[in-house]
Structure 1
């Protein structure tokens, strides 16, 4: 078993329950960990035996472009898409909103979901 990890993907999106969040938008940081067996890729040096991290990034970017009220919902959608990839055993995602209503008191708001 192994993991492919994409850390600190920075994307802009329009997620939130407050009207300003869905009209002004915010920057988000996304981390994903995908667990899979990439033993065959490690000995063959063959991309088809693993998961292309560019494909993982594209999934995150496409889902971030679809507005959600809740980060939990957004995280669930991303995990559902990633888990449809044949080699995936499990996925963990962390999404952090950088510009949020509690800005003066809280650095960032994050959700973590395992699937």
Structure 2
């Protein structure tokens, strides 16, 4: 199956459990993989036959900016639910990385995978 992959999308979101995390939007990094049939787009060379990844990235950025989830898991699920509404998307794997959240680790990443129903 074909895939569209976006790596290292930089976003900001109000996210976290602790009071100090709730005071300002934090930097997050998102990686996503969409399973979608790209045969038509590959033949037509027409953007209308695929998913406009610039528009998709902007939609993710806006959803993150406007969200106030506590857990990365909840934000990831929210984003995946939106991505599964795109025409032809069969499966989404999405990872959110939150850097510098643990004193002895570089980052924490949560990764979810969901299929269209």
TM-score, normalised to structure 1, is 0.93
State yes or no: 1:87 paired with 2:91. Answer: no
Cα offset for 1:94? 0.3
Give ranges in structure 1 of 5+ residues lacking alignment: none
* 4+ aligned runs moved over 6 Å, structure 1: none
Structure 2 runs not aligned, ≥5 long = none
Correspondence 1:34-113 to 2 at 5 A: 34-65=34-65, 66-100=67-101, 102=102, 104-113=103-112
Aligned length: 113
| C-alpha RMSD of matched pairs (Å) | 1.1
Determine the C-alpha separation between the residues in 1 that align with 2:60 and 2:100: 19
Q: Distance in 1 between matches of 2:110 and 2:59?
A: 18
Kept in 1: contact 2:97–2:109 (CA 8 A): yes
Preserved contact between residue 27 and residue 99 of structure 1 (Cα < 8 Å): no
Q: Quick check: 2:12–2:61 contact (8 Å CA) kept in 1?
A: no
Structure 1 residue 26 displacement after superposition = 2.0
1:15 is paired with a residue of what secondary structure? coil
Given that residues 59 and 78 in structure 1 are in contact (C-alpha distance below 8 angstroms), is that contact kept between their aligned partners in structure 2? no
Partner of 1:6: 6
